[in-house]
Amino acid sequence: MRILFTFLLLISYQVNAGKDQAIALMNAGKYKEAVRELESLASGGDDVAMVTIGNLYYEGKTGKVKYKEAYEWWFKAYQAGNVDALSNIGVLYRDGKGVEENLEIAYDIFVIIHMKGLGNQSTQIRNGGNLDKTIAKLSQDRIKDALCYSEEYVSRYIETKGSQTKPTKQEEVKLKDKSWWLPGELPIYECTSGSSYNKIKPKTNLHQLSIMRAVYR
């Protein structure tokens, strides 16, 4: 699973006493103490510290695996504009860990990050792997439905932590209609009334969506 692992985050830190101490504690395997140090950094707005705390809970470094706690910290980092946190949230929605599974939302998160080129190169590599794994779980019709969501709807769903059930608004541009697609990348189709909602029943015996830039690279 291509979550942003703790050791990759360490290179993002500038040298100062608090961050050095957090790194030293993690290197020594003292993760609970490291969390306390990281929480101090996070309280000052350090979004990388927020992501790192979430990673430690996700990986069970402080004891038991705590997916809900991981989600809360990644959500805070996402609100601070951290793209890796957004991709990690997508993993939780894909796997149904700490949140109710929603493959369409997970798929859209990964597509948005990929197509908008968000984050750095490492972010894009990890996100691409997450996208591939999500595609493997979705039928062609479910992918089409997911692309009938708007970027605004996906943001509302994340912001309300899954309680957003209102459809994509008529004035919002659906993902399938975004200008980022090349001619012929997507089949031409109309969105059904049910495709604008966050809960879509799985469909069987369907092939994957034809090859497109956001899916296979």
Beta bridge mates, 174: 150
- Residues spanned by the domain of 30: 1-80
What pTM did the predictor assign?
Answer: 0.82
Reply yes or no on whether the pLDDT at 1 is more than 60.
no
189 or 13, greater pLDDT: 189
Reply yes or no on whether the pLDDT at 204 is more than 80.
no
% of the chain with per-residue pLDDT over 90: 71
Tokens describing residue 71: 């989600």
Give pLDDT tens digits for 45-87: 999 999 999 999 999 999 999 999 999 999 999 999 999 999 9
In a domain, 91, yes or no: no
In a domain, 191, yes or no: yes
Shared domain check, 141 and 65: no
Shared domain check, 215 and 153: yes
Shared domain check, 109 and 212: yes
Out of 31-35, 48-52, 175-179, 211-215, least confident range? 211-215
Shared domain check, 114 and 75: no
Reply yes or no on whether the pLDDT at 205 is more than 50.
no
pLDDT band for 207, please (50, 70, 90 cuts).
very low
Shared domain check, 214 and 132: yes
Give CB contacts under 8 A, 24+ apart, made by 181-184: 181/212, 181/213, 182/213
Residue ending a domain, among 12, 45, 80, is: 80
Reply yes or no on whether the pLDDT at 93 is more than 60.
yes
In a domain, 85, yes or no: no
* Angstrom distance (rounded) from CA 183 to CA 110: 21
**What pLDDT is attached to residue 64?**
92
Residues 51, 4 contacting (CB under 8 angstroms)? yes
Shared domain check, 161 and 112: yes
Average pLDDT, the chain: 84
Shared domain check, 202 and 114: yes
* Angstrom distance (rounded) from CA 152 to CA 42: 27
Tokens describing residue 72: 């809360």
Give pLDDT tens digits for 97-113: 999 999 999 999 999 99
Shared domain check, 177 and 118: yes
In a domain, 92, yes or no: no
Look at the chain and report how many structural domains it folds into. Answer: 2
N residues, the chain:
217
Shared domain check, 63 and 9: yes
Residues 94, 130 contacting (CB under 8 angstroms)? yes
Other CB atoms within 10 Å distance of the CB of residue 2: 17
